[in-house]
Structure 1
Amino acid sequence: MGKMQTNLGLLTICVFLSMLCFGQKDNNSKKLGKVSKLFSTEDVLEVQMAYSNRDLKKLTNDSTYIDVNLTYLDKDSLSSLPVRVRARGNFRRKNCYFSPVKMRLKKEYTKKTLFKGNKELKLVLPCLKEKNANDYIIKELLAYKLYEVVSPYHFKTRLLDFTLSEPKGEKVQKHRIRAFFIEDIDELEERFGGKTMKRNVHPLQQDSLTSIRNSFFQYMIGNTDFSTGYQHNEKLLFLNGYSIPIPYDFDMSGLCDVSYSVVSQIDGLVLPLESVTQRLYRGFQRSDTTMELIRDEFMQNQENMMAIIEDHKSYFEDEAEFQRSEKYILGFFNIISNPAKFKSEILDKSRLR
C-alpha cells in the first residue's frame, strides 16, 4: 500500500508540474513580448517578388545577399518595400528548383508597415515545379501549427499566396505558388526573453518535459531529420536556467512525404528505415512515469490537433493529400492510445545514448 501511495504521489506531482508547464503560454503572456503584426493573424497574405532562382543560388551565400522588392496586399492596400535575400539550405540548393530564402529587412523601411519588428525572415517555398508542390507546403506548415499545441516555445508562421516573377532571357515566367514566412530566431528570443545557445547540449541535460514533448512530436510527424544534441533543424533557447529545444524544417518528415525525401543520416548514422513514412522514436530513455505523463498530454490534445488539420483542408489542392495527412497523424494516436504499441514503439525504442 505504501509503495502504491508513493507512486500516486509522484504521479500527482508530475501532473501538477506538467499543468504548470503546459499552461505557461497563458500564465506568462503578460510578461512576453508581443507577437509582431505580421504573425498576429492566420489570414493568407499575398506577396510578390522578382528574382532569378539561378542567380539566387549562384550569387548568394551566408554573407552575400541580393536586393529585391517585396510587394504585398494588406487589407486591400498594395505596398512595397526593399529587402535583401539569399538562398539557404545546402540540400535544396543542389536538388531543388526553388531554394528556401533568408530575408533581411531594414528598420527604416519597415517601421510603418506590416513587417514592423521583423529584421529577418525565412521564406519557405516548394522544392520543385511539380503536381503536389503546393500541398507539400501546406503539410509542412501543418507541422508548425501542430507544434504550437505541443509547446508554447515555437516559431510563428504565416501562409502566403506567393508570386515569383522570374526573368527568362527576354521573357518573364510567373510562378504562383504557396509559401510561408517563419519568424526569425531574434524575434523568438525577444518574445520569450531568452537567448539562443551556440554550444551543443545533450538532450538529457535539456529541459526534460519540453525535450520529451519535442521527441513525441517528431515521432508523430515521422521526422528523423533532426538532432537536439547537435542542433540540426533545432534551436536551443536558454530561458530561466534551462535549455529548451525549438524545432523547424519538417519537409523530410513522413507527414510531408515529399517526392525528394530521403531517410536522414545525421552524423553518418544509418537508420533502420526504408521510407520517411516509417516512424522511429529518437527520444532518450526517461522514467516511465514522465513518459506516460507526456503521452496523456498528447492524447488530451488529439481533438485539438485534428481540428487544426481540418481547418487547413481548404488549402489542399488534392483531397487525397489531405486525407493522407489526416490518416498519418491518426496513426500516431492509434499507437500511443494502445498500451502495448506505446511500449514496443516508443518506450522500448528510447535511446540510451
Structure 2
Amino acid sequence: MLILSGLISTPLLSQNDAADTVYSVTDTLPDDYNLFSKDEVLDISLSFDIKYYKRKRSDEEYLDAVLTYYTGENDSITRNIKLRSRGIMRREYCDFPPLLLNFKAKDSVGKEFNKINKLKMVTICKKGQEDYLLREYLVYKIYNILTDYSFKVRLLRINYINTGDANKRDRQFAFAIEPVDLLSKRLNSFEVPLRTLHRNIIKPDMFDRMAIFNYMIGNVDWAVGNQHNVVVLQSGQSDRPDLGICIPYDFDYSGIVDTDYAVPGEGVDIKSVRERAYLGLCREKQDFEKALKEFSDNKDAIYGVIRDFPYLKEKSKTDMIKYLDGFYSQFDKRNSIVNNLLFDCRRYGK
C-alpha cells in the first residue's frame, strides 16, 4: 500500500491552473479575515476586454483587468489584476469561460482579498443559465454543512465592463472558490502532489463521506486515483497522518445541478445524470450505517440551505429538494440505502 508520509509539501493548482510566479503573494498577514469569512453576496466590478477574452479563451495568456469591490455605501477599493480563462470542458463549451484571477502581492493585503494570490471564479456558462451556477454554489454550501474539510465558496454579483465593446456593461452572479493554499492552511495540512493514488490511502471516514455525498447529489464525475475533481491533502496532526484527506469540487455534472451539457461518465451503467451510482468502496453494513448517520442527522440543515437561499427560483428549489427526496427516501425500514450502496460498490467500487 502506498504511504503518504514523507511527501514534500508542494501546493498545486488543479484543472490546468498552474500560472507564472510574477504575481506571488507574501505570507506575513493575519489569518482572521478573507473573502470566505462571510456569506453575504459581495458586489464587485470587473473591467477588461471581454470580447477578446471570449474569442481567445486561452488558459495561458493573461489579460489586464481592473477589479473594484465595495467596502461601504460610498467606499470602494480598486486593484489592477491579471486574469485568464481556466478549466477544461467549460473553457471550450461555455460562452463565458470560468475565470482565474491573479493578484499582485501588494494587492493581497487586507479586506476581502486578504492573502489571496490566485482565485478561481465560476461564471454563468451561457445566457439564461443562472440557475445552474446557483445550484452548483448551493452544492458546495451543502457539503460545508457536513464537514469543515470542504471548499468554502463566496457568491459574487459582478458588474462586467467590456473595454473591448465601448465599455458595455452586464451584471451577473458568479462565485469564488477557496484557493487550495488557503484551504490547506485552514486545515493545517498540505496538498499531495498530483500523482496516481489508490483509494485505500485515503482516511476511510472521509472517503465514505465524500462518496456518499456524491451519490446523494448524483455525481459520478470524480476519481481519487487521478485526483479528478478531488483534492487530496495530508495533515501531520491527523490521527492517521499516513492517510490522505479527500475534498471534492466541480459539481456541474451532478444530477442535482442538471446542466444541459452533463452526461454520465464512461463505465457507469446509468443513462442520465439524474440517476444515481455509488462509486465508493464496499464496507460492512455497520460502517455504512455509521457514515450515513451524519446525512440523516443533517437532513433539515441540508434542505434549509436550499429553502433559505433567496436568489434561486422557486421552481429550481423544488427540483433540488425533490432530487434529494430520492436519496432520503432510501432511509426506510428495509434499509434500502445500505443495500443500494452495497449493490453499487460491488459493481463499481470493489
TM-score past 0.5 threshold: yes
Is the counterpart of residue 260 in structure 1 residue 261 in structure 2?
yes
Q: Deviations over 1:58-113 (max 9, x none)?
A: 55645432121111122322221112111111211211101011111122113133
Q: CA deviation at 1:38?
A: 1.3
SS at match of 2:220: coil
> Who is 2:27 aligned against?
none
SS at match of 1:145: helix
Question: Given residue 243 of structure 1, which amino acid in structure 2 is its aligned partner?
Answer: G
Q: Deviations over 1:284-334 (max 9, x none)?
A: 11222211101112101111111111221x111x31111101111222111
CA distance in 2 between partners of 1:90 and 1:52 (Å)? 21
Q: Which has the higher contact order (CA 8 A, sep 6+)?
A: 2
User: By percentage of residues, which structure has more helix?
Assistant: 1
CA distance in 1 between partners of 2:286 and 2:41 (Å)? 42
Q: Is the 8 A contact 2:61 2:84 kept in 1?
A: yes
SS at match of 2:173: strand
Q: Is the 8 A contact 1:45 1:74 kept in 2?
A: no
Question: Given residue 179 of structure 1, which amino acid in structure 2 is its aligned partner?
Answer: A
- The match for 1:138 among 134, 156, 160 is 134
Question: Given residue 75 of structure 1, which amino acid in structure 2 is its aligned partner?
Answer: G
Structure 1 segment 293-304 matched on structure 2, within 5 A = 293-304=290-301
> Who is 1:345 aligned against?
340
Judged with a 3 Å threshold, the aligned counterparts in structure 2 of structure 1 residues 184 and 59 are, in CA distance, closer, same or farther, namely: same
SS at match of 1:213: helix
CA distance in 2 between partners of 1:276 and 1:293 (Å)? 27
> Who is 1:248 aligned against?
249
Question: Given residue 121 of structure 2, which amino acid in structure 1 is its aligned partner?
Answer: L
Q: Is the 8 A contact 1:45 1:159 kept in 2?
A: yes
CA distance in 2 between partners of 1:253 and 1:86 (Å)? 26
Q: Is the 8 A contact 2:233 2:244 kept in 1?
A: yes
Q: Is the 8 A contact 1:118 1:183 kept in 2?
A: no
CA distance in 1 between partners of 2:137 and 2:101 (Å)? 18
CA distance in 1 between partners of 2:267 and 2:173 (Å)? 33
> Who is 2:199 aligned against?
203
- The match for 1:48 among 45, 59, 63 is 45
SS at match of 1:335: coil
Q: Is the 8 A contact 2:48 2:66 kept in 1?
A: no
Structure 1 segment 84-95 matched on structure 2, within 5 A = 84-95=82-93
> Who is 1:186 aligned against?
181
Give the number of equivalent residue pairs: 312
SS at match of 2:280: coil
Is the counterpart of residue 311 in structure 1 residue 283 in structure 2?
no
CA distance in 1 between partners of 2:44 and 2:81 (Å)? 13
> Who is 2:19 aligned against?
none
- The match for 1:174 among 159, 169, 174 is 169
TM-score of the aligned structures, taking structure 2 as reference length: 0.84
CA distance in 1 between partners of 2:150 and 2:338 (Å)? 28
Question: Given residue 347 of structure 1, which amino acid in structure 2 is its aligned partner?
Answer: L
Judged with a 3 Å threshold, the aligned counterparts in structure 2 of structure 1 residues 331 and 35 are, in CA distance, closer, same or farther, namely: farther
> Who is 1:15 aligned against?
none
CA distance in 2 between partners of 1:175 and 1:339 (Å)? 52
- The match for 2:61 among 59, 64, 69 is 64
> Who is 1:8 aligned against?
none
Structure 1: gaps spanning 5 or more residues: 1-32
Q: Is the 8 A contact 1:36 1:117 kept in 2?
A: no
**Does 48-57 or 302-311 show the bigger shift?**
48-57
Is the counterpart of residue 288 in structure 1 residue 289 in structure 2?
no
Question: Given residue 130 of structure 2, which amino acid in structure 1 is its aligned partner?
Answer: N
Question: Given residue 262 of structure 2, which amino acid in structure 1 is its aligned partner?
Answer: S
Is the counterpart of residue 122 in structure 1 residue 120 in structure 2?
yes
Structure 1 residue runs of 4 or more that deviate by more than 4 Å after TM superposition = 57-63
Q: CA deviation at 1:225?
A: 0.9
CA distance in 2 between partners of 1:173 and 1:262 (Å)? 35
SS at match of 1:326: helix
SS at match of 2:329: helix
**Does 343-352 or 71-80 show the bigger shift?**
343-352
Question: Given residue 145 of structure 2, which amino acid in structure 1 is its aligned partner?
Answer: V
Is the counterpart of residue 224 in structure 1 residue 220 in structure 2?
yes
- The match for 2:94 among 96, 101, 126 is 96
> Who is 1:75 aligned against?
72
SS at match of 1:216: helix
CA distance in 1 between partners of 2:302 and 2:171 (Å)? 29
CA distance in 1 between partners of 2:204 and 2:93 (Å)? 36
SS at match of 2:287: helix
Question: Given residue 247 of structure 2, which amino acid in structure 1 is its aligned partner?
Answer: I
Question: Given residue 227 of structure 2, which amino acid in structure 1 is its aligned partner?
Answer: Q
Q: Is the 8 A contact 2:36 2:153 kept in 1?
A: yes
The root-mean-square deviation of aligned C-alpha atoms, in Å, is: 1.9
Identity score, percent = 30
